Amino acid sequence: MAEISSSPRAAAANLVDGHGRRIDYLRLSVTDRCDLRCRYCMAEDMVFLPKSQVLSIEEMAELAERFVARGIRRIRLTGGEPLVRRGIDTLAMRLGALIGHGIDELTLTTNAMRLAEHAPMLAAAGVRRINVSLDTLDPAAFRHITRVGDLGVALRGIAAARDTGLQVKINMVALAGLNEDQLLPMLAYCAANGCDLTLIETMPLGEVTDDRSDHYIPLHHFIAPLRAERPIYPVDQKTGGPARYFAVEDSPVTLGLITPLSDNFCSTCNRIRLTVEGRIYMCLGQDDHVDLRAALREGGAAAADSLIDAALAGKPRAHDFHIERKSGPAVARHMSATGG
């Protein structure tokens, strides 16, 4: 679909979309590359962006600072896998300097393959909590789901992050036939290691080898073994994202549920995603976008303001995700191209 254009005009002070939703959370993808090939996320043989189409670390920082000037209060660094990006330390330090001077929080989502190496840098930059994608504690299943991953490396990365004082939340994608038996072991692991746990339904983004309908399971089915063992209770907790949170009886773990298919949460969307090539997609499940890269390179960060406003005006009320057998993805691009 063609990019949305906008004539130059004065930029609004705050970020409010066409449905009156205040946007205060930026998810900044620093790379489309990853050192894993998770079956629900990527094809086995991926084609990544050439360097000329990728924003530099300096350009990412400039755009992020422009978003902060427009009212963004939280920034999450995503990918792909953000810790494979050269210069991630420079970016984290620069954005971390904005904590208390524009933003409330800088966070990161990672697969933990390189977390042991980078945890001290993240803590020094001002990051206080991170999300780690971890779908199973079974080494063979981990290797199968990720195609190339070593569970031991991920667990050592999590331990190193906790040793540096980072709060860790585990993100676990619910996958029928692959990790349905892992919820209770994962809850026990989180309780023993001071982590919270968020469960996520798989989403139809990008062509992958497997048919996602074979592995889609609504979260109310996925958590049935937990409910059979002990009650869970809703709690009033917000972290800026789409999760609904629950307390688990006799457990210190806070359980989050992200349900893009079984229980749409778009009415409270407060997020905007900036891709590594400088695009804003108005919705994770739509192709409409604006391209800030050319505006930035020709006129600086301020020149991007009218395009940011165009993106907000075109943000849809909701995505239109469906997972049906042989139906194909909702959009052709993979999650790694948009940012998690």
Domain for residue 19, yes or no?
Answer: no
**Cα separation, 31 vs 54, whole angstroms:** 8
What average pLDDT does this structure show over 315-320? 63
**Cα separation, 336 vs 94, whole angstroms:** 23
Instruction: Please write the tens of the pLDDT for every residue from 152-204.
Output: 999 999 999 999 999 999 999 999 999 999 999 999 999 999 999 999 998 76
Q: Does 37 appear as a known binding residue?
A: no
Domain for residue 6, yes or no?
Answer: no
Q: Does 213 appear as a known binding residue?
A: no
To which residue do tokens 């604006």 refer? 290
Q: Does 217 appear as a known binding residue?
A: no
Domain for residue 4, yes or no?
Answer: no
Contacts of 50 (CB under 8 A, 6+ apart): none
**Cα separation, 243 vs 188, whole angstroms:** 20
Asked if pLDDT for residue 328 goes beyond 60, the answer is no
Token reading at 98: 């904005």
What average pLDDT does this structure show over 87-100? 98
Q: Does 27 appear as a known binding residue?
A: yes
Instruction: Tell me the pairing of strands 105-110 and 129-133.
Output: parallel
Domain for residue 5, yes or no?
Answer: no
Q: Does 109 appear as a known binding residue?
A: yes
Q: Does 195 appear as a known binding residue?
A: no
Q: Does 80 appear as a known binding residue?
A: yes
Q: Does 169 appear as a known binding residue?
A: yes
Q: Does 273 appear as a known binding residue?
A: yes
Domain boundaries, position 91: 25-338
DSSP 244-312: EEEEETT--PEEEEE-TTTS--GGG--EEEE-TTSEEES-TT---EEEHHHHHHHH-GGGGHHHHHHHH
**Cα separation, 55 vs 91, whole angstroms:** 12
Q: Does 133 appear as a known binding residue?
A: yes
Q: Does 128 appear as a known binding residue?
A: no
Q: Does 162 appear as a known binding residue?
A: no
Q: Are 15 and 308 in contact (CB under 8 A)?
A: yes
**Cα separation, 224 vs 209, whole angstroms:** 28
Domain for residue 10, yes or no?
Answer: no
Number of domains in the chain: 1
Domain for residue 284, yes or no?
Answer: yes
Domain for residue 232, yes or no?
Answer: yes
Alpha carbon of 138 to those of 66, 185, 187, 200, 249: distances in Å?
A: 43, 10, 14, 18, 25
Asked if pLDDT for residue 7 goes beyond 50, the answer is no
Q: Give the pLDDT confidence score for residue 272 in this predicted structure.
A: 87
pTM of the model: 0.86
**Cα separation, 192 vs 171, whole angstroms:** 16
Omega prior to 80 cis, within 30 of 0: yes
Domain for residue 2, yes or no?
Answer: no
Q: Does 29 appear as a known binding residue?
A: no
The CATH number of whichever domain residue 228 belongs to comes to 3.20.20.70
Q: Are 36 and 111 in contact (CB under 8 A)?
A: yes
